Chains A and B, each alone.
Chain A
Amino acid sequence: MVLRLVLTELFDGIVSLPAWWYTRGLAIMTAWFRTFVRDASERFSLGVWVRNLFVPMYGDTEWSGRAISFGVRFAMIFVRGSAVAVWSSAAFVGLAVYVLALPMAILGLLYHAVGLIVF
């Protein structure tokens, strides 16, 4: 009974893993990726800076102040955007690693095991 249960559990796990990996597992990882990118955007206030691109900083409403503000905000959007991009890229790499991990591991196992046995 116990052995049957163990074997069933293992067999089911092995058989269902690839399907699970690209359905429910991928959904979990995609949700994680989205949260990660949204948090990055929030942390660097990218949306706030974009929305206020033409709003003068520090309440300086003179034309010179507006011009400087625009310049600074533009630069800051670039810097912050880059930071969000780097952050998001890291998350994307994580997601890509997830997508590739399972086939690569199976291929690697087959390649190295067969290679070692045969050669």
Chain B
Amino acid sequence: MIPSNPPIPSTPRAGVLIDGKAFVWSERLDDASLAKKRLAQKVQTAISAGILAAAFLFFLWFGWGMYLYVIPSGMTAFVRAVFRPSFVGLSFSLFVLSSSFVFQRMCEVTRKKVEMPVISHGEAVPGVVSTIPEGERVNVADLFHADAMKTVEDAYKLASSFGHASIQPLHLFISSLSHGDVPVVFGRLGLRFDAVSDALNRRLLSVPTGPGPTFSEEAEQTLIAAFQNAVVRDRSSVSPIELFYEAYRRDPFVQELLYDVKVDEARLSNVVEWIRITDALRERYDRYRRAAAFKPTGPMNRSMTAIQTPALDSVSEDLTTAAVGGRLPMLIGRDAEMEELLRVIEGGGRSVLLVGPEGVGKTALISGLAERMVREDVPKMLQDRRLVSVVLSAVISGVDASEAQQRLIGVLNDSGRSGNVVLVMQNIEQLVETGSELASLLVDALTRRMAFVIATTTPEAYAQTVERSPISRVFEVVNVPEPDTTEAIRIVESKVGAIEYDQNVIFTYDAVERSVVLSDRYVHASYLPKKAIGVCKEAALVAFKARGENAIVTGDDVETVLAAKTGIPMTQVSTDEKDKLLTLESTIHARVIGQEEAVKAVASALRRARTELRAQNRPISTFLFLGPSGVGKTALAKAVAASYFGGENAMLRFDMSEYQDQASVYRLIGAPGGDAGLMTEAVRRNPFSLILLDEFEKAHPNILNLFLQVFDEGRLTDSAGRVVDFTNAIIIVTSNAGSAYIQKAVSEGVPADQMKTRLIEEELHGTYRPELLNRFDGIIVFHPLTPDDVQQITYLMIAQVAERLEAKGIMFRATDEAVAELSTKGYDPKFGARPLRRIIQEEVDNAIATALLEGRVNRRDTIVLHHGGKIEIEKGAAL
């Protein structure tokens, strides 16, 4: 073998200490050593090819000799060929000898000079140190994959071509972009190299030049950190992806550059993990298939101690058989839960109850256990057994109680006599709900160790049903909580491959991340990761239908799906919408006259919400509108609903004067075991809405307390135990409390700030508790309307009348004198503009209705309202 280049004699500046050995970078890297290495590789390849060809020729020679001289003459000729000097014997010897060379070279090529160190589970991760103690040193270059070595060499060449004095993480980052799986990382991030190439080139031009290049300390640390990264993740060698990631982490410029294209460290880390998960899944699958070959798939175990289980088979599915057939999904994550599950099983042999919300992965955990049972990587009491899932609905449905009991007895007997069965009972609350006898039967069987059961239930069902039944005594509870977003992203990443295969599309990381983050934020009826996986499936379908095969599924596709599901706009703010948001005040003012402060506060809240600058764990905004009747409090709420939430229908209005007694709280949040609450159900169905609570001061004090949590946490639990999300709602509370003071203060010209302070500190003191008032984002005082305001409102109402008539093809207008007259009549200092609607009905609508009934008005005519309520009809042109 050609000896490798002698190591660099200089002192390493970074290393990792594992098991008393220092892993350092000591590979020589210069033009001469690279040329020598390249030449050596070519020579080795040429020699290997030559020997292989020679072996083949010797074999042909031997075969030819056998064919010509030995086979026709039989055994005697064979003995002669072997024991007497012959060309057949010579060619055979040469063939064996050359084959020995080939074998040796093949073994040496695939042999690792150094084994990757292994960190045992629970052992502390060794850090990169800069001071290397004396002792045994290992060159980590020997643990670099060929692609990774090529990356390092390319980094050298890159630095050399620019005349740089040192190799820096930047060079390693750039060179890694074209090696191994790194291009896939860019693809998953939806990035093109062009997006960063100019900036990288500019950066390269700014690196100091000089003789060299040699490794900078940061670059050496990058190489060692890449090795450490590979060790921690149990990789068999260091690949370009570790170099890419560590180079990114060590170069602030690269971090900033990627941040500009919306890639931060968390996103990059998750994409790198995605690539690794795919690799790990493949490796695991290969190992698993080999192990599965030894697992029996029928009811009989390997030791043949089991018996046939007809009663059990008729109502169950064999999960180990399904796992051997590759029909169960592979478990990703959930290490802690699996460990706890196995610990409980190993500890006391008690049956296990997995308690977790629907969709968090209880079934996946059971599939993971089935997979481990196939590999026999389980505690002794689960070895050589099969995992059988009993379909409880098949046990209890369609028959009376005694028949169901017979079926369950059959299942338990089969399991007990067979001795090689571990039962799975999903949603065990079904058994309890059906009748106490079934539960007692199961308790009896488990107490007598006739069966071993792994059951599942939800936290709600556990609290309401299971915990109160005797079943809870015989099970050890293992909680399976909802995974956090990072773990959920990784689980979804592991599932995306199958979706991509099914729909023939390609997912970007953005799509995966948004499916998790947005569904976590906006979909509250189900849990991660199931809801995110569901969204990904739909987004894949949307992308496929829109763009055909090999469509790239982006975050926008996910947002489209989620927006359609929830009705919440979550796509990026478009140019049209940007204009709409910036001019929100004028849009609202088209419907609400005056009240500048209120309109501005509401518009600002909506802009904050849409640009995601608001707190995500509270309602979009909560406002208390104070002021006398008829000054536009409700009108503003309606205007906001119409201009931002898509229509007045998106407003959920509750007249709190209907909730004056204590019992009425149940009408809002639902009665235990009774009907759903009016408010909680409405918000659950329309989370993106405006909630208007009219005349709030009239509600019972207990109801006011209920809203403390809503305003603060953005959620409320209804009578069924469901958490209703208010974080996508604007809550507007109107109140007439303090109206008398407001009117008096306005007439006396008290400044707004002073008026508000007095209201909060004194006038509202007896009506609302301070903690409630403090929870409002804004307390807005509506000023009494001036005659000018009322006149403007009159114009608006006349415009509404005109709009109604336009549908009939009739035009309508009012003279300024008529409007002034109406506004004077319709204004009442006590009730604001409220009488105006009645006046318009009486004086305008009635007159128009009479004219219509008398047949004086036809299509295309124009009705003109004059002073004194007189109606004039201008005839339209004949057709």
Contact = CB atoms under 8 A, between A and B. Distances in A.
Interface in B341-390: 384
B294 A43 contact: yes
Given A2-B43, A43-B294, A111 B89 contact: yes
B306 A59 contact: yes
Given A59-B418, A115-B85, A51 B96 contact: no
Contact of B104 (A8, A21, A51, A108): A21
B85 A119 contact: yes
Interface majority SS (helix, strand, loop, mixed), chain B = helix
Interface stretch (B297-305, B704-712, B791-799, B812-820): B297-305
B305 A8 contact: no
B384 A48 contact: yes
Interface string B15-53: 000000000000000000000000110011011000000
A56 interface: yes
A5 B39 CA distance: 9
Given A2-B43, A13-B1, A25 B92 contact: no
A17 B104 contact: yes
Interface in A60-119: 101-102, 104-109, 111-116, 118-119
B100 interface: yes
Nearest to B87: A116
Given A21-B104, A59-B418, A59-B419, A48 B302 contact: yes
Contact of A28 (B92, B107, B307, B418): B107
A48 B107 contact: no
B412 to A, nearest CB: 15
Nearest to A107: B93
B86 A112 contact: yes
B2 A8 contact: yes
B84 to A, nearest CB: 7
B90 A113 contact: yes
Q: Which of A5, A8, A42, A115 has the most CB of B within 10 A?
A: A5
Contacts of A16: 1
Given A59-B418, A101-B100, A112-B85, A9 B47 contact: yes
Contacts of B97: 102, 105-106, 109
Given A2-B43, A112-B85, A113-B90, A20 B305 contact: no
B186 interface: no
B499 interface: no
Contacts of B44: 9
B94 interface: yes
B85 A116 contact: yes
Contacts of B105: 13
B103 interface: yes
A43 B84 CA distance: 44
B305 A56 contact: yes
A25 B104 contact: yes
Interface string B88-114: 011011101100110111011001000
Given A101-B96, A112-B90, A2 B39 contact: yes
Contact of B305 (A52, A118, A119): A52
Contacts of B289: none
Contacts of B419: 59
Given A24-B107, A105-B96, A58 B302 contact: no
A109 to B, nearest CB: 4
A45 B302 contact: yes
A68 to B, nearest CB: 12
Interface majority SS (helix, strand, loop, mixed), chain A = helix
A25 B85 contact: no
B2 A1 contact: no
Contacts of A45: 294, 302-303
A109 B96 CA distance: 10
Contacts, number: 112
A7 B2 CA distance: 10
Q: Which of B97, B107, B384 has the most CB of A within 10 A?
A: B97
A1 B305 contact: no
Contact of B100 (A1, A49, A105): A105
Contact of A58 (B87, B100, B111, B306): B306
Nearest to A101: B96
Contacts of A111: 85, 89, 93
Contact of B43 (A5, A17, A104, A105): A5
B758 interface: no
B866 interface: no
B85 A58 contact: no
B30 to A, nearest CB: 17
A101 B97 CA distance: 8
Q: Which of A6, A57, A112 has the most CB of B within 10 A?
A: A112
Nearest to B300: A58
Contacts of B305: 52, 55-59
A56 B384 CA distance: 16
B417 interface: yes
B303 A48 contact: yes
Nearest to A10: B47
B107 A25 contact: yes
Contacts of B108: 20
B307 A59 contact: yes
Contacts of B47: 6, 9-10, 13
A21 B84 CA distance: 27
A25 B304 CA distance: 41
A52 B303 contact: yes
Contacts of B85: 111-116, 118-119
A114 B40 CA distance: 35
A9 B107 contact: no
A108 B101 CA distance: 16
Contacts of A12: 1-2
Contacts of B103: 25
B94 A109 contact: yes
A111 B82 CA distance: 10
B39 A17 contact: no
B2 A112 contact: no
A109 B95 CA distance: 10
Q: Which of A16, A101, A105, A119 has the most CB of B within 10 A?
A: A105
B107 A17 contact: no
A59 B418 CA distance: 7
Interface in B137-181: none
A13 B96 CA distance: 15
Interface in A28-55: 28, 42-43, 45, 48-49, 51-52, 55
Given A5-B2, A5-B43, A111-B85, A49 B107 contact: no
A6 B303 contact: no
A50 to B, nearest CB: 10
A119 B90 CA distance: 14
Contacts of A58: 304-307
Interface of B: 1-2, 39-40, 43-44, 46-47, 84-87, 89-90, 92-94, 96-97, 100-101, 103-105, 107-108, 111, 293-294, 302-307, 384, 417-419
16 contacts: A5-B43, A17-B100, A17-B104, A20-B108, A21-B104, A24-B111, A48-B303, A58-B307, A59-B305, A101-B96, A102-B100, A108-B93, A109-B94, A111-B93, A112-B90, A115-B86
Given A13-B1, A13-B47, A58-B305, 13 more contacts: A13-B105, A24-B107, A43-B293, A52-B305, A55-B303, A59-B306, A102-B100, A105-B97, A109-B90, A111-B89, A113-B85, A115-B86, A119-B85
Interface of A: 1-2, 5-6, 8-10, 12-13, 16-17, 20-21, 24-25, 28, 42-43, 45, 48-49, 51-52, 55-59, 101-102, 104-109, 111-116, 118-119
Q: Would you list the 5 A-B pairs with minimal beta carbon distance, nearest first?
A: A115-B85, A108-B93, A105-B96, A112-B90, A59-B307
